[in-house]
Amino acid sequence: MDLLNTLVEKGLRRELPTREEALAVLATTDDELLDVVAAAGKVRRQWFGRRVKLNYLVNLKSGLCPEDCSYCSQRLGSKAEILKYTWLKADEASKAAAAGVAGGAKRVCLVASGRGPTDKDVDRVSKTIEAIKEQNEGVEVCACLGLLSDGQAERLRAAGADAYNHNLNTSESTYGDITTTHTYADRVETVQQAQAAGLSACSGLIAGMGETDADLVDVVFSLRELDPDSVPVNFLIPFEGTPLAKEWNLTPQRALRILAMVRFVCPDVEVRLAGGREVHLRTMQPLALHLVNSIFLGDYLTSEGQAGQADLDMIADAGFEVEGTDTTTLPGHRAAAGGGCGSGSASSEDGCGSVCGTTSPEEPSVPAAREEARTDLVSVRRRGAGTDLAPNA
């Protein structure tokens, strides 16, 4: 396909595809799927070889969030029967993190429900970061605590945090349909605060919430402009007891096309296969490794993932290798520049210039292909952090 040849050439040069090209990837047929995966795989291997970075989540505080994000099982008014507990102590969190590191995780992601941290919360998380760093040499720590206030990103950085996660989740135009208690601009501002403090920015999206193809392209182009080092791609887990419980809009094939589109738009960024991969990709997960260079190991915040050993076996069987702590994840040009998703040029063709996030008046809105609900694959987490049971790592 001429489209795929063009996208590969652009990806190898770190050039931004057009919106039409990104939309065309999402519109490809199932018969063309393997060609799409092979093309995006060339771009992935150019910048990341066959390495897979492992990340491990520790949910520091679960449930009881005052925000109304429709996709979240921890939201205000959620009836999902998830674990609910207040802040883990530093030693408890460090013990949970150690299980992930022992399983091969290079990065530990510390997450807490809520609108954003108080200064006392930042102190608490800082002690946890210090404990993890002291006990696990070489491990990266990413904090995900919600909206940040002035000075909090700098304090987390001083405590040893390497990165901060705050996802955009969906397009700016549809954000108000998903969340009303904060704005899309609030999220952008928090990512920028993290970057200004010298933290590596991690920001991604959630697919499968009923969005159109144009919405998906919008948020990925906005991420390209925001310039995070890591882009997690989540697939909605439709928890019973949340407003989006009936949104089963993804097939494994569509999920792979979304991942390919993200790789083409942000060719040299750490693209992470995140929550919902087991639910929506299922037995096609190994194909996704040709598109992403990073995954979460084991369980998620409130849902269970596949066994940690199964993740390791999948990586090995697919011909990939786990990235060690002595390896720099990002390509040299990005690591040297402190991050960035493009070439650093402000032109509209080869960097994060003014073309990012723009809209075209003649874009198709292709609805997602709805698949049969697989509620049997949604398993609430009952082990690990906040419980007396061993974690899955």
Question: Residues within the annotated binding site?
Answer: 65, 69, 72, 109, 142, 202, 272
Assign 3-class secondary structure to the chain: CHHHHHHHHHHHCCCCCCHHHHHHHHCCCHHHHHHHHHHHHHHHHHHHCCEEEEEEEEEEEECCCCCCCCCCCCCCCCCCCCCCECCCCHHHHHHHHHHHHHCCCCEEEEEECCCCCCHHHHHHHHHHHHHHHHHCCCCEEEEECCCCCCCHHHHHHHHCCCEEECCCECCHHHHHHHCCCCCHHHHHHHHHHHHHCCCEEECCEEECCCCCHHHHHHHHHHHHHHCCCEEEEEECCCCCCCCCCCCCCCCHHHHHHHHHHHHHHCCCCEEEECCCHHHHCHHHHHHHCCCCCEEECCCCCCECCCCHHHHHHHHHHCCCEECCCCCCCCCHHHHHHCCCCCCCECCCCCECCCCCCCCCCCCCCCCCCCCCCCHHHCCECCCCCCCCCCCCC
Separation of alpha carbons 140 and 101, rounded Å: 10
Positions annotated as catalytic residues are 65, 69, 72, 109, 142, 202, 272
The position carrying tokens 């598109």 is 291
Residues in the chain: 393
Q: Give every CB contact of residue 68 below 8 A, 6+ residues apart in sequence.
A: 75, 76, 77, 179, 180, 181
| Residue 318 CB neighbours (<10 A) | 15
What is the distance between the alpha carbons of residues 101 and 164, in angstroms, rounded to a whole number? 19
Among candidate residues 122, 3, 54, 37, the one with its CA nearest the CA of residue 295: 54
For residue 364, which amino acid is it?
P
* Nearest partner of 62 among 386, 392, 391, judged by Cα: 386
